[in-house]
Copies of this chain bind each other. A is one copy, B any other.
Amino acid sequence: MSNKPTLIQPRTLRGFRDFTPNLMIPRERLIDTAKRVYRSFGFSPIDTPALEYTEILLGKGGDETDKQMYRFEDQGGRDVGMRFDLTIPFARFAAQHIGQLGTPFKRYHVGNVWRGEKAQRGRYREFIQCDFDTIGTTSRTSDVETGLVIYELFRALGFERFTIRINDRRLLSGVLDHLGLVERQTDVLRVLDKLGKVGPQKVTEELRDAVGLSEVQAADVLRFAGLSGSPAEILGEARELVGDSEIGAAGLEALAALFESVAAAGADVSRFALDPSIARGLDYYTGVIFETFLDDLPEIGSCCSGGRYDDLASLYTKEKLPGVGASLGVDRLLAAMEELKMIEETAAPCPVFLPLFEKGRDGDYLALAQELRAAGIGVEVYPEPKKLGAQLKYADRRGFPLALVVGSSEFSAGTVQVKDLKTGEKEDVARADLVSHLRQRI
């Protein structure tokens, strides 16, 4: 007969999740790194609303993603939806603002998107996208630069063993052109996109039985997709397969120039491969396409994908906006980094922990912490004068690398005991030397 209200069970919706610090710290670092690399190439940040008119988001409508959209009527009776990718909002944004912004326009956009799809392990209904694009130009330099951004991004994230696989849609178009199959390109693409998953045997069967290719045609398509070797070797063999197709020749030339420019720019060319098997299922791409695989975990699939498209915003404007860009798979990459033990298990947002255990000296502890912060060294001060052991346990649990133990003897001697929380090693350091000492150790 208590007057207390019953508690509401704290829980998240299925397919949604909380990010505790141990998950959020590496996530924030990864995103900060991506933003830094994007900016260093001249990409500027933009943002668009989470909610848009359904009419805008659905566009032509009818595909699978649309059905997954969170859609409802707002307080004003408007038919609205939560964005399910960043591409459609960018297209709408570009149509609306490109006159004022001018071209070429280079933007990055990091934001959550929502899809009410079947929740399953590793699939979430809320997830982050992290895209960059250059629009308003057909420049090949932008294609090269897209590859260089991916290259710098993976290096900045700490990867050494990764491969940026590159292809050009026009190569396959050339092969199909040469085989007299241009009008079946979409179907061929759709089937070829399964190559990695189901293997050449199944793909050959499906090209023959479902798409209607002859044995010889299917064999040529498969031969093309199976080409391997150096870019020069592959381009040489592909030249035969595209014959005198104009679009094929354009693709060959563009790819040759791209690999040349990547080398000229000083990037490590062994990180770039020409891979005729990548198709990127969407009709959307019309030129160069990119996929990025981790050499140590190829099975997780591409962690950064994109390519060149002819027209971004044709639903919303008559102005033709060709572009090139890619999208970083944040969650996939974080999972990979965890598996590869590249993420330090920590819930500590700064390197130094300062236990507070001499009663009545809060001001002195806070002053020490402020001194270090002024030198750019982050410090967490424990807020209660508990026993030192309990405080160090707290620090250890959160993963702080260093603690500064300062009791009355250290205060009067003008020293600080620097304790390595991993090894337990201690060292007395004079206050005057503390900043430089810590800078060396962090």
Contacts and interface: CB of A to CB of B under 8 A. Distances in A.
Given A114-B50, A316-B10, A384 B104 contact: yes
Contacts of A73: 72
Nearest to A156: B373
Interface in A41-69: 41-53, 55-56, 59-60, 68
Interface stretch (A214-222, A375-383, A413-421): A375-383
19 contacts: A8-B59, A18-B48, A18-B97, A19-B47, A20-B97, A21-B101, A24-B46, A41-B369, A42-B380, A44-B349, A50-B126, A75-B116, A101-B347, A141-B356, A144-B362, A148-B370, A260-B363, A261-B363, A263-B363
Nearest to A365: B141
A38 B349 CA distance: 9
A265 interface: yes
Contacts of A315: 5, 7-8
A18 B41 CA distance: 22
Given A141-B383, A265-B370, 9 more contacts: A8-B59, A39-B378, A40-B373, A42-B380, A50-B114, A68-B75, A101-B347, A144-B362, A264-B364
Contact of A349 (B14, B43, B59): B43
Closest 4 CB pairs of A and B: A264-B363, A42-B380, A72-B72, A21-B44
A394 to B, nearest CB: 7
Looking at chain A's contact residues, is the secondary structure mostly helix, strand, loop, or mixed? mixed
B18 A44 contact: no
Contacts of A50: 50, 82, 112, 114, 126
Interface string A348-370: 11100100100000111111011
A284 interface: no
Contact of A366 (B75, B144, B378): B144
Nearest to A42: B380
Contacts of A59: 8
Contacts of A32: 32
Interface in A121-145: 125-126, 134, 137, 139-142, 144-145
Given A10-B317, A13-B80, A363-B260, A18 B45 contact: no
B265 A367 contact: yes
Given A95-B10, A316-B7, A349-B42, A145 B49 contact: no
A70 B72 CA distance: 9
Nearest to A267: B370
